A and B are shown apart, each in its own frame.
Chain A
Amino acid sequence: MTPLPIRPGVNMARHRRMQRLREEFIAWVLRACAFSAVAGLLLIMIFVFREALPIFTSAETQREATFGGFFTVPNWQPVSDHPKYGIIPILIGTFKIVAVAMVFSVPVAVLAALFASEFASPRLREILKPTIEMLAGIPSVVLGFFALMVMASWIQSVTGSPVRLNALNAGLALSLGVLPTVFTVCEDALRAVPKSYREASLALGASRWQTAWRVTLPAASAGVAAGVLLGLARATGETMIVLMASGNAALGTASVFDSARTLSATIAAELAEVVVGSPHYSVLFFLGALLFLITFVINVAAGLLVDRLRRRLAGA
């Protein structure tokens, strides 16, 4: 047998030189792939803000829409002879719907996460977790459709509300969209709590519920808070559900039985109809930038909480 290196006529040193070049090239390509995530986030910021910029720089746009006007003009009437771009009713609508969604989804999701991680038998858990993945896998347009076609009528018959599509309906539908997010993050956090904590508590004579409530949940509190924040961000940004279920009237009233309109639904409903570069177009991008900022801040906060949880459990 010929000794290694094997192939006659192949210069091993040269082969290795080429191989090293190839290795370096591949490392560079992979680095570029990783950079695509950074580039993506930066480009989103740049291009969403860029299209909103005329509100601050263009005199022509400012004749119709100004930054100050967003908060002083009482109405949102973009399509009229004298368009009005007051975003207060939209902010109120967003707040109302998101509040309803959080009020319903957080307790249910946290309790269900506690149930799954602390009380459920393995068999029950094996039903519960895939079901929640299924719920997470239902497209939001289907949830919106369900809220529009089915839930709205139930809710109207129970509450006797004069309008079918209102903030309550949208908020409840939205809570279905948010539930899986909150549940998953909470459950992960609860399961990351070391078994020794639970054993210590049980050995002191605490019941399973007392252990869950006074030991496990507090230990995982940063993760639970992160789950709630991620759910909040998701609820604030969710579009199709609210677009289909809320009635979309920018009323600015406090009642959840009135129709309401959110930031995301406003963009979705109006952008397709506007002239590119018009004041209305810029205003819609401004709403997008605002939505981006709100969710970005919430997400960063959630990320910090998750890091804190990880460090605390690692340090323990």
Chain B
Amino acid sequence: MVTDVPTIRTRLADAPATDPAATPPQASPPHLVARDFHLFYGSNEALKGVSLEIPARTVTAIIGPSGCGKSTLLRSFNRMNDLIPNVRVTGELRISELNVLARDTDVVDLRRRVGMVFQRPNPFPKSIFENVVFGLRLLGVKDRGELEVRAEDSLRRAALWDEVKDRLDHSAMALSGGQQQRLCIARSMAIEPEVLLMDEPASALDPTATARVEELILELKSRYTIVVVTHNMQQAARVSDRTAFMMQGELVEFGDTRQLFTSPHKKLTEDYITGRFG
């Protein structure tokens, strides 16, 4: 047994990171669904039949060793993998009633409903304001007043407003890494998505900035269905209601975060969270 694992267990047992009351009842219809989802890069099978159901307004963490397919799964929900040549998929992905993989699904609409935050903060080399309203302008919002109101709202929700309200016209590139990442979150939220996908959103940040982003995730859960990919098990334990553990393209175990970290059903899961590999 590796020493830091009991810490997680202790913390989860002693002080639950998430308020049990906020966890929605299991009966509500799932928001995101994957059924027997396979993905191939050329002849290499990166996802080998993943099935899972994610309820609305929860935070789900996907953990697993690098190369296990967790980012690939995340990027499949807004079809970012379309950008990679020679990718083939089978099975089913749904967001509410929308069939994600169907040929006639409009990816542009899909991506408006599903926001994404990337591993490395990727603001555009434009002003802070222009970054936040980028998606709004694409939707044809031209009214300055409305843009300003919505920008402020998004920045407030991303807990960035107080830091940048006096310099909205400054370049976003001048912000710190943590601020940039919160700006990217604000930018995603401005177009009112239902789902936020976060691909290791804190991996490029220092501990303080990481803590801010984690707080933010907990606050945002009341409005969005959030899926976070992370390589950091403590982080998964801190922010998520439910956790999925993946390995070599397969979903090994998926369940309540506390249960998964304290009494995993599978031997593999236990080995991973106790630090025997990965």
A and B touch in the complex (CB under 8 A): yes
A4 close to B (CB within 8 Å): yes
Residue A40 lies at the interface, judged by CB distance under 8 Å to chain B: no
Contacts of B108 in A (CB 8 A): 16, 19
Residue of A1, A10, A20 with most chain B CB atoms under a 10 A cut-off: A1
Asked if residues A6 and B149 are in contact (CB atoms below 8 Å), the reply is: no
Known contacts A16-B106, A16-B108, A16-B109: A5-B150 contact under CB 8 Å: no
Q: Which residues of A contact B153 (CB under 8 A)?
A: 1
**Is A3's CB within 8 Å of the partner chain B?**
yes
What A residues does B139 contact at CB under 8 A?
Answer: 4-6
- Taking CB as reference atom, which chain A residue is nearest B140? A7
- Give the complex CA separation of A1 and B146 in angstroms: 9
Do residues A6 and B106 form an inter-chain contact, with CB atoms below 8 A? no
**Distance (whole angstroms) from the CB of B184 to the closest CB of chain A:** 19
Residues of A within 8 A of B191 (CB): 4
Does B192 lie at the interface of the complex (its beta carbon under 8 Å from any beta carbon of A)? yes
CA distance A126 to B131 in the complex (A): 37
Q: Is there contact, CB below 8 Å, between A1 and B140?
A: no
**CA A10 to CA B142, docked complex, whole Å:** 14
Q: How far is the CA of A1 from the CA of B153 in the complex (A)?
A: 11
Residue of A nearest to B106 (CB): A16
Contact A3 B106 (CB under 8 A): no
Instruction: Find B141's partner among A3, A6, A16, A20 (CB 8 Å cutoff).
Output: A6
Q: Which chain B residues (151-170) contact chain A, with CB distance < 8 Å?
A: 153
Residues from chain B with a CB closer than 8 A to the CB of A1 are 146, 149-150, 153
**Residues on the B chain within 8 Å of A20, using CB:** 106
Number of interchain pairs (Cβ within 8 Å): 24
A3 to B153, CA, bound (A): 13
Mark A65-108 against chain B: 1 for CB-CB distance below 8 A, else 0: 00000000000000000000000000000000000000000000
User: CB-nearest residue of chain B relative to A19?
Assistant: B108
Q: How large is the interface on B (under 10, 10 to 19, 20 to 34, 35 or more residues)?
A: 10 to 19
Main secondary structure of the interface of A (DSSP, over half): loop
Q: Is the CB of B106 within 8 A of A4?
A: no
Give the complex CA separation of A40 and B101 in angstroms: 41
Q: Cα distance A59–B192 when bound, in Å?
A: 78
A1-33 vs B, CB cutoff 8 Å, 1 = contact: the mask equals 101111100100001100110000000000000
Contact A10 B140 (CB under 8 A): yes
Contacts of B136 in A (CB 8 A): 6
Contact status B109-A6, CB under 8 Å: no
**Bound-state Cα–Cα, A216 to B232, Å:** 44
A3 touches B192 (CB 8 A): yes
A91 to B92, CA, bound (A): 69
Residues of A within 8 A of B141 (CB): 6-7
A16 to B138, CA, bound (A): 12
In this complex, what residue of B is CB-closest to A6?
Answer: B141
Mask of B12-34 contacts with A, CB within 8 angstroms, 1/0: 00000000000000000000000
Query: Whole-angstrom distance from the CB of B193 to the nearest CB of chain A?
Result: 9
Chain B residues with CB below 8 A from A5, complex form? 139
| B residues less than 8 Å from A10 (CB atoms) | 140
Chain A residue numbers with a CB within 8 Å of B106 are 16, 20
1/0 contact string of B209-253 vs chain A (CB within 8 Å): 000000000000000000000000000000000000000000000
Q: Give bound CA distance, A4 to B194, whole Å.
A: 12
Within 8 A of B (CB), among A37-84: none
Distance between Cα atoms of A15 and B106 in the complex (Å): 12
User: A5 to B139, alpha carbons, bound, how many Å?
Assistant: 7
Measured CB to CB, the closest approach of chain B to A5, in angstroms, equals: 6
Q: For B109, list chain A residues within 8 Å (CB).
A: 16
A16 to B107, CA, bound (A): 11
Distance from B53 Cβ to chain A, minimum over Cβ atoms (Å): 26
Give the residue name and chain of the A residue nearest to B112 (CB).
A4
Q: How far does the alpha carbon of A16 sit from the alpha carbon of B192 in the complex, in Å?
A: 18
How many Å from the CB of A27 to the closest CB on chain B? 14
Ordered nearest first, which 4 A-B pairs have the shortest CB separation? A4-B192, A6-B141, A7-B140, A4-B191
List 24 contacting pairs A-B, 8 Å CB cutoff, sorted by A.
A1-B146, A1-B149, A1-B150, A1-B153, A3-B192, A4-B112, A4-B139, A4-B191, A4-B192, A5-B139, A6-B136, A6-B139, A6-B140, A6-B141, A6-B146, A7-B140, A7-B141, A10-B140, A15-B140, A16-B106, A16-B108, A16-B109, A19-B108, A20-B106
